[in-house]
Amino acid sequence: MTPFKIVIPARHDSTRLPGKPLADIAGKPMVVRVVEQALGAGAEEVWVATDHEEVARAVEAAGYPVLLTSAAHASGTDRIAEVAMRLGWADDTIVVNVQGDEPLIAPELIREVAHELATHTSAAMATACHPFHDLASMFNPNVVKVVLDRAGFALYFSRAPIPYGRDAFLSMPSRLPTEMPAYRHIGLYAYWAGFLRLYTGLTPAPIEQFEALEQLRALWHGHRIAVAITAHAPARGVDTPEDLAWVRAQFQT
């Protein structure tokens, strides 16, 4: 199995759901539930990186390693880079970013993304996607899309519907053409630790700021992102109170 480490960035002050990492899910803080899922992936180490002392205390109370990181980080990637540097991980270490609001993340998917990077050494990062099956998601700006080249590297990520089937959407406006290579991006990343150190020095890209997608910074500066295509959509993450209610229900079944 590909050796890798996991860092879970957990920012306390979420815009849509403040205090999200500490939200109770069947008697445990959400961030702890994420750690428990991540441990099933077989990583060498699993760390939580947070900017909030209360989150750090909750993780420590559950017996898991945590680092209190700077509150000035603009993104989860910057927070993970701080962890990699402080722990002295070698440049060729694979570091997987598991979002702190994914308490149902599949361990198999984490391993798949780590393996994708290990087998594409020319890439700086790896991530995952899965095929779209409905038109509504394709046109939803909260759902991120990715277009791939013939070798499976990302050409672009967007909140807009890409690729745009000009003729197909005119002739069949109510459904997604089955042959269209349309993929929904899954927000799970693997990085080389050496690239994480480089990333912190990259200037933010205009496309990154307009799309509000931090992975575009890597593409804009000429770095490659390998993309694993998985057959199944990941479990729902937690962005809103409605998402939290749904996830809580899954733990009750």
Which pTM does this prediction carry? 0.92
Q: Is the pLDDT assigned to residue 173 strictly greater than 80?
A: no
Closest CA to 113 of 212, 215, 28: 215
Of residues 97, 4, 98, the one with CA closest to residue 45: 4
Residue-level pLDDT at 72 = 82
Summary mean pLDDT of the chain: 92
Q: Are 248 and 160 in contact (CB under 8 A)?
A: no
CA 96 centroid distance within chain: 9
pLDDT tens digits along 175-186: 787 788 999 999
Q: Please check whether residue 234 is in contact with residue 106, taking contact to mean a CB–CB distance below 8 angstroms.
A: yes
Give mean pLDDT, residues 168-195. 88
Mean pLDDT, range 131-154, rounded to an integer = 93
**Hey, is 125 helix, strand or coil?**
strand
Which of the residue ranges 6-15, 43-52, 121-130 would you say has the lowest mean pLDDT? Answer: 6-15
Cβ(37)–Cβ(48) below 8 Å = no
Look at residue 227 in the predicted model and tell me its pLDDT.
98
pLDDT tier at 172, thresholds 50, 70, 90: confident
* Residue carrying the six token digits 């205090």: 19
Decide: 131 and 137 in contact? Cβ < 8 Å.
no
- pLDDT tens column, 2-43: 899 999 999 887 767 788 999 999 999 999 999 999 999 999
Report how far residue 209's alpha carbon sits from residue 194's, in angstroms, rounded to the nearest whole number. 24
Q: How far is CA 242 from CA 91, 101, 234, 236, in A?
A: 40, 13, 17, 11
